[in-house]
Structure 1
Amino acid sequence: MLAKTNCNTASLAPFTQPLEEKQILHLYRRAGFGVPFGTLQSHIGKSATQLATEVIEEAINMPLTEEPEWSTWDNTFYPEDGDESRDIKRTQISQWKEAYVTDLRINNLRDRMSFFWHNHFVTELREYDCPSYLYEYITLLQTHSLGNFRTFVYDIGINNAMLKYLNGDKSGKGNPNENYARELYELFTMGEGIGYTEEDIKETARALTGYVKRDEGCGPILFNPNAFDTKSKTIFGQTGAWGYDDVINILFAERPNEIATFVCGKLYEFFVNPLQVPEITQDLAATFIANDFELAPVLAQLFASQHFFDEEAKGVIIKSHFDVFYNFTNETGFQTTNDMVLDGVNICRMIGQEVFNPVDVAGWQRDRDWIGPSTLIGRWKMLEFYLNETYALNEDQFSNLAIDLAGGPGNIDPEDITRKIVDWFLPLGFHSPEDYEIATDIFKSDVPENYFEDGSWNLLSSYASKQVLDLLQHLIKQPEFQLK
Structure 2
Amino acid sequence: MEAPGNKVLNSADARFLLDRTGYTPDPRETARYVGLTRAQAVDRLLATTREVAATPLPAWFDEPIPPPQERRAWTSDEKKAAQITRNRRYREARAWWVAEMLHTPSPLTERMTLFWHNHFVSGQDKVPWPQTMLAQNLLLRRDALGSFGVMLHDIAKDPAMLQYLDGASNRKGHPNENFAREVMELFTLGEGHYTQKDVTEAARAYTGWSLDGQAQFVWRPGMHDNGAKTVLGKTGDFDGDQMLDLLLARPETADFVTAKLWREFISDTPDPRQVAAMADTLRSHDYDIRTVLRAIFLSKAFWHQERQGTLTRSPVDFVIGTVRAFDIDYGSPQPLAATLNQLGQNLFAPPDVKGWRGGQAWINSSTLLARERFVEAILRSAGEGPANRMTQPAPRPGTQAAMMSAAFKPSAHPRLADKGPHFDPARWFAQAQASGTGVPDAAARKRIEQAVLATRPAEPISPDVDGLDLLQALLADPAYQLK
For the superposition of Structure 1 and Structure 2, which TM-score range results when normalised by the shorter chain? 0.7 to 0.9
Where does residue 141 of structure 2 map in the other structure? 142
CA distance in 2, matches of 1:386, 1:169: 45
Pairing 1:287-298 to 2, within 5 Å after superposition: 287-298=281-292
Q: Contact conserved, 2:211 with 2:218, CA < 8 A, in 1?
A: yes
- AA paired with 1:354? N
CA distance in 1, matches of 2:233, 2:422: 67
Pairing 1:357-368 to 2, within 5 Å after superposition: 357-368=349-360
SS at match of 1:260: helix
SS at match of 1:375: helix
- AA paired with 1:219? A
Distance 1:16 1:306, change over 3 A: farther
- AA paired with 2:283? I
Distance 1:117 1:213, change over 3 A: closer
Q: How many Å apart are 1:143 and its aligned residue?
A: 0.7
CA distance in 2, matches of 1:297, 1:285: 10
- AA paired with 2:457? F
Where does residue 6 of structure 1 map in the other structure? none
Q: How many Å apart are 1:348 and its aligned residue?
A: 1.8
CA distance in 1, matches of 2:350, 2:423: 38
Match of 1:338 among 320, 331, 341: 331
Q: Contact conserved, 1:260 with 1:288, CA < 8 A, in 2?
A: yes
Distance 1:174 1:284, change over 3 A: same
Q: Contact conserved, 1:419 with 1:436, CA < 8 A, in 2?
A: no
- 1:85 aligns to 2:82 (yes or no): yes
Unaligned residue ranges in structure 1 (runs of 5+): 1-10, 445-466
CA distance in 2, matches of 1:290, 1:208: 27
- 1:99 aligns to 2:107 (yes or no): no
Distance 1:23 1:415, change over 3 A: closer
Q: How many Å apart are 1:213 and its aligned residue?
A: 4.6
Distance 1:415 1:151, change over 3 A: same
Match of 1:348 among 331, 340, 355: 340
Where does residue 322 of structure 2 map in the other structure? 328
CA offset digits 1:75-127 (Å, max 9, x no partner): 14989421232233334333322221111234311111000011100011122
- 1:46 aligns to 2:31 (yes or no): no
CA distance in 1, matches of 2:301, 2:268: 14
- AA paired with 2:307? A
* RMSD (CA atoms): 2.5
Where does residue 302 of structure 2 map in the other structure? 308
Q: Contact conserved, 1:62 with 1:110, CA < 8 A, in 2?
A: no
Where does residue 436 of structure 1 map in the other structure? 461
CA distance in 2, matches of 1:155, 1:189: 14
Q: How many Å apart are 1:406 and its aligned residue?
A: 4.2
Superposition TM-score, scaled by structure 1 size: 0.84
Q: Contact conserved, 1:65 with 1:139, CA < 8 A, in 2?
A: no
CA distance in 2, matches of 1:285, 1:295: 11
SS at match of 1:239: strand
SS at match of 2:455: coil
Where does residue 206 of structure 1 map in the other structure? 204
Distance 1:244 1:277, change over 3 A: same
Report the more deviating stretch, 284-293 or 242-251. 242-251
CA distance in 2, matches of 1:404, 1:43: 15
Q: Contact conserved, 2:55 with 2:100, CA < 8 A, in 1?
A: yes
SS at match of 2:5: coil
Identity of aligned residues (%): 27
CA offset digits 1:221-269 (Å, max 9, x no partner): 422222211211111222222111110122223x0x2111110000010
CA offset digits 1:439-468 (Å, max 9, x no partner): x45x34xxxxxxxxxxxxxxxxxxxxxx62
Pairing 1:230-269 to 2, within 5 Å after superposition: 230-253=226-249, 255=250, 257-269=251-263
Q: Contact conserved, 1:157 with 1:163, CA < 8 A, in 2?
A: yes
Where does residue 425 of structure 2 map in the other structure? 398
CA distance in 2, matches of 1:241, 1:304: 43
CA distance in 1, matches of 2:268, 2:453: 19
Where does residue 222 of structure 1 map in the other structure? 218
Where does residue 451 of structure 1 map in the other structure? none
The number of equivalent residue pairs is 438
Unaligned residue ranges in structure 2 (runs of 5+): 384-415
Q: Contact conserved, 2:155 with 2:161, CA < 8 A, in 1?
A: yes
SS at match of 1:234: strand
- AA paired with 1:150? G
Distance 1:95 1:373, change over 3 A: closer
CA distance in 2, matches of 1:350, 1:397: 25
